[in-house]
């Protein structure tokens, strides 16, 4: 790095002997200005040298700022909300969908092989709802009742088993439909509409997988209109 300083100097042709006696022995105003200019030039050069040396010796300062911005972008709160529908190729589970209508995923939570994969250790709220349109008989006996069930299961390496088929229930709910009551939800065609909702907080680990399980007979009566059947997780 080169810092060029130009100091204009106007040297008079008159010698000290030519100057009046009263001016001899006193510092010249022009000489003082030249000295100040030299000092300012040297100070500017020293400041520039220190600036460039500090940036050359500490490039990690700028890298840290860059990585901090990346971390701030990556630290978006993890959340996923999926919509469900009946799929004849699935025998015991709802078909879950992401990136459709209001369904979304962010922060590392993703849908893989119809299962939600946890991106990092932490506390998560897990929730799900399944809605049904159930056909009921005309009588009010116990045989006319329909039991609706919905289950969320978890697979985790923390279970200490190498068997990837081992899933454990973490949410399970059962509701009985076709019960006669004054506030019944039966329509004119004899169908009963009912929803099973469940949710709770869990301490999950990175790589854990969550899935839902449901009886095939119930899957055929699933209501898959938007907002009726869903599955989701968000980090706390």
Q: Tell me the pLDDT tens digit for each residue of 115-124.
A: 999 999 999 9
Residue 45 shares a structural domain with residue 101: no
Q: Tell me the pLDDT tens digit for each residue of 22-40.
A: 445 455 667 777 777 777 7
What's the rounded Cα separation, in Å, for the pair 153 and 209? 8
Quote the distance between the C-alpha of residue 9 and its chain's center. 65
| Residue 173 burial (C-beta neighbours within 10 Å; 0-12, 13-18, 19+) | middle
Overall number of domains in the chain: 2
Q: Tell me the pLDDT tens digit for each residue of 44-96.
A: 767 666 655 655 555 554 556 656 655 555 568 899 999 999 999 999 999 99
Reported pTM: 0.64
Integer CA distances (angstroms), 230 to 81, 128, 132, 196, in order: 7, 6, 12, 11
Quote the distance between the C-alpha of residue 6 and its chain's center. 57
Instruction: Specify the pLDDT at position 181.
Output: 47
Residue 222 shares a structural domain with residue 171: yes
The range of the structural domain enclosing residue 36 comes to 16-71
Residue 104 shares a structural domain with residue 32: no
Is the pLDDT reported for residue 150 higher than 80? yes
| Percentage of the chain modeled with pLDDT above 90 | 39
- Min mean pLDDT across 63-72, 127-136, 148-157 is at 63-72
Residue 162 shares a structural domain with residue 231: yes
Residue 92 shares a structural domain with residue 202: yes
Pick the last residue of a domain from 8, 40, 71: 71
Three-class SS state of 228: coil
The residues facing 154 across adjacent strands are 168, 210
Alpha-carbon torsion (159, 165, 170, 174), positive or negative: negative
Residue 39 shares a structural domain with residue 88: no
Instruction: Specify the pLDDT at position 189.
Output: 55
- Give one word for 107, left, alpha or beta, with left for phi > 0 and alpha for psi -120 to 50: left
Residue 125 shares a structural domain with residue 174: yes
């Amino acid at each position: 790095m080169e810092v060029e300083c130009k100091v204009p100097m106007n040297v008079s042709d008159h010698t000290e002997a030519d100057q009046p006696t009263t001016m001899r022995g006193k510092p010249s105003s022009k000489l003082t200005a030249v000295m100040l200019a030299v000092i300012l030039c040297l100070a500017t050069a020293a400041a520039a040298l220190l600036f460039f040396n500090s940036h050359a010796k500490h490039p990690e300062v700028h890298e840290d700022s860059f990585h901090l911005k990346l971390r701030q972008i990556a630290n978006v709160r993890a959340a996923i909300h999926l919509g469900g529908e009946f799929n004849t190729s699935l025998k015991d589970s709802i078909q879950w969908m992401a990136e459709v209508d209001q369904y979304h995923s962010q922060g590392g939570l993703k849908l893989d092989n119809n299962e939600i994969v946890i991106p990092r250790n932490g506390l998560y709220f897990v929730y799900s709802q399944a809605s049904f349109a159930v056909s009921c008989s005309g009588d009010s006996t116990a045989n006319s009742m329909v039991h609706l069930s919905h289950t969320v299961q978890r697979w985790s390496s923390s279970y200490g088993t190498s068997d990837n088929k081992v899933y454990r229930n973490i949410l399970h709910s059962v509701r009985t439909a076709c019960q006669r009551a004054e506030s019944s939800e039966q329509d004119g065609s004899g169908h009963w509409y009912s929803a099973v909702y469940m949710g709770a907080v869990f301490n999950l680990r990175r790589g854990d997988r969550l899935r839902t399980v449901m009886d095939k007979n119930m899957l055929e009566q699933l209501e898959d209109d938007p907002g009726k059947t869903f599955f989701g997780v968000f980090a706390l």
